[in-house]
Amino acid sequence: MALEIKPIGEVVAGRTEVADDYWGGVESVIQLDEAEFPIDSVQGLEEFSHLVVVWHFDQASPGDVEYHARSPRGNPEWPATGTFAHRNHRRPNQLAQSFPRLLAVDGLQLRVADLDAVVGTKIYDVSPFFNEMGPRGTVHEPNWPGEMLADYWSTRD
């Protein structure tokens, strides 16, 4: 059975161009659907510092999806890894999740920082980040993600 979901909102302010790096310092606004949600649907959200935002790579094409192993960003210095070892638009369903800082709640507008989605991106879920629901135990990863993402949260000079 296929899951059918509809957007709950959209990024209406922030960065407009898609890019691999320099997302640091970007402030964005998520506008939740005013026709669907009452104002009290965000009550208490302002108490949290971070959100979990699920969004769709809607500027990508379904033809971008790749199921085979490949080197991240096409860099042959990094090992070929399978689809489920990547966090990009080439994944099935082209869904992403981000963990932006919540700066303010103004009605059904959520002002955030460090959301790596561009203006026009459809938002499919928003929830507060709970430390207790974060990773348990020691987190480990290979070296290539740190190398690849060295400038991801840098500011553009």
**Could you tell me the CATH number of the domain that includes residue 70?**
2.40.30.70
Question: Does some domain include residue 155?
Answer: no
Question: Does some domain include residue 130?
Answer: yes
Residue 59 pLDDT exceeds 80 = yes
Name the burial class of residue 78, with classes exposed (0-12), middle (13-18) and buried (19+) by CB atoms within 10 angstroms of its CB. middle
Q: How many residues does the chain have?
A: 157
Q: Is 55 helix (H, G, I), strand (E, B) or coil?
A: strand
Question: Does some domain include residue 38?
Answer: yes
Q: What is the DSSP letter of 57?
A: -
Q: What is the per-residue pLDDT for 85?
A: 87
Rounded Cα distance between 95 and 121, Å, is 11
Q: What is the DSSP string of 27-54?
A: EEEEEE-TTT--GGGGTTGGG-SBEEEE
CB 127 within 8 A of CB 51: yes
Question: pTM to 2 decimals?
Answer: 0.90
Q: What is the per-residue pLDDT for 91?
A: 86
Q: What is the per-residue pLDDT for 24?
A: 85
Q: What is the per-residue pLDDT for 48?
A: 98
Grade residue 137 by pLDDT with cuts at 50, 70 and 90. very high
Question: Does some domain include residue 29?
Answer: yes
Residue 54 pLDDT exceeds 90 = yes
Question: Does some domain include residue 56?
Answer: yes
Question: Does some domain include residue 157?
Answer: no
Q: What is the mean pLDDT of residues 129-142?
A: 94
Q: What is the mean pLDDT of residues 71-82?
A: 89
Q: Give CA separation, 84 vs 70, 121, 145, in Å.
A: 11, 22, 14
The total of structural domains in the chain comes to 1
What integer best gives the mean pLDDT of the chain?
92
Question: Does some domain include residue 2?
Answer: no
What is the distance of C-alpha 152 from the center of its chain? 13
Q: For residue 121, what are the domain limits?
A: 9-148
Q: What would the two tokens of residue 131 be?
A: 């430390």
Q: What is the per-residue pLDDT for 66?
A: 85
Residue 100 pLDDT exceeds 90 = yes
